[in-house]
Amino acid sequence: MHQQLSTEATDVTTSASLVDLDKIEVHLRTHQTYPATRASLLAACFDLQDFSDFERTWFLRALPDGTFLSADDVLAAVRGEAVATPTPASLTPATTPIQQAKLEAFLGKVVGDLGAAMNTALVVIGDRLGLYKALSGAGPLTPGELAERTGTHERYVREWLCAQAAGGYVSYDAATKRFTLPPEQAAALADETSPAYIPGGFYIAEAVVRAQAQAAENFRTGRGMRWGEHASCLFEGTERFFRSSYIGNLTNAWIPSLEGVEAKLRASALVADVGCGLGASTILMAQTYPQSRFRGFDAHPESIALARQRAGAAGVSDRVTFEVARSTDFPGTGYDLVAHFDCLHDMGDPAGAARHVRRSLAPDGVWMIVEPSASDRVEENLNPVGRVYYAASTILCVPASLADGEPAAALGAQAGESRVKRVVHEGGFTRFRRASQTPFNAVFEARS
């Protein structure tokens, strides 16, 4: 196409008077990044809809040769002025000297990330096969002893243990060739009642990896991905990951931080847990406050079915119900407390959800919003916790919101307090404050 058009062009200097130079200059100044390659400039020119074939052809002939071109060089050329061919050494950022120490430090970080990514599968395996639980409190074990205790194959167990030792998940004694799960690691990897219990996060990571093909397509199309479209390990992982935080904080810190709420719950209150998932938060509240009644709502039917089973197993079905409902239409009024645990940012219409909460609350009711900890400033979220949340948000949270319909707010898992506050005020609430904080969560209280 370039060759065909170029044969129709006349002399650059004489034809310049027939071209809208101002339009071309605006295009070059606003649509290019410099230094630019000749090929990228030509491609952009041919893609520009309001350029005529003659203008494209003229631009093709006017553009000077050279691997890298500055904005001034290109503008001089389209005006018919002489341009010296620039050298890569004077223009290309690629000539910036590489500092070997910085490169090696970065590659070391990448290798660590790669090992951590591969270890995701090994943590899930260790959890599913009971390897961590068998190690917990057992003292030093050989691979054969651990294999015997768990009914697994020694050779696989040996390799798994070596990988765990390399990552610091277990310790290794070279003299005895035995492996030990230290008590701190046991609290995080083997004790499901511990506030530090973390394996659920690796099930979420597994779901993120499984969703990568659809996520890549979403990048191209802008479509969303509903919660129910993900692998089932996401639902289990999310419940287990957040449950440990709820065990450590919900009834002994978060609810007491809300003005007057705990007293109502200990007497007799009506509570709605919106976006309840598998019901971990709902069931925990029902166990702690047996005089109150709790209704859990979630748009995912499979999660609600599991939540009902778990309520029965926990012995709280007499005061807990679970129903399929959306955040903007869940039934009931007169609630003393409505709670959204780590889910408001996933919703397509969080302001609509806020308005519905306000309508459903009793006159002196409270809305508790638990969201991932985040600053309003991106640079303050660039830390290990922010990294986890941004990654999860890219594959899980933003797609869920975009799939939820208009207005598809896509707040993301690092929305920050100011954006949450704006949603709350859009819902008609007049009072808003941060009631509690952990490294992973911020707890907000809203009242009419």
Quick: pLDDT tens for 40-58.
Answer: 665 555 555 555 656 656 5
Q: pLDDT grade, residue 226 (50/70/90)?
A: very high
- Asked whether the beta carbons of 410 and 401 are under 8 A apart, the reply is yes
Average pLDDT over residues 284-297: 98
Instruction: Give the CA diameter of the chain.
Output: 90
Distance CA 391, CA 386 (A): 8
* Residues 223-231, mean pLDDT to the nearest whole number: 96
Burial of 103 (0-12, 13-18, 19+ CB in 10 A): exposed
Tokens matching residue 282: 């709902």
Q: What percent of the chain is predicted at pLDDT more than 90?
A: 77
DSSP state letter for 324: E
How far is residue 290's CA from residue 285's CA, in Å, rounded to a whole number?
8
Decide which of 3.30.210.10, 3.40.50.150, 3.40.50.970, 3.40.250.10 is the CATH code for 253-447: 3.40.50.150
Question: Hey, what amino acid is at 243?
Answer: R
Per-residue model confidence (pLDDT) at position 21: 63
pLDDT 10s digits, 101-150: 999 999 999 999 999 999 999 999 999 999 999 999 999 999 999 999 99
- CATH class of the domain defined by 111-189: mainly alpha
pLDDT, tens digit (0-9, with 9 covering 90-100), for 381-408:
999 999 999 999 999 999 999 998 789 9
Q: State both tokens at 135.
A: 């190690």
**What mean pLDDT value characterizes the chain?**
88
pTM of the full structure: 0.78
Domain boundaries, the chain: 2-95, 111-189, 253-447
| pLDDT in the model for residue 14 | 42
Q: Report the SS3 class of residue 274.
A: strand
Contacts of 33 (CB under 8 A, 6+ apart): none
- What pLDDT is stored for residue 366 in this prediction? 98
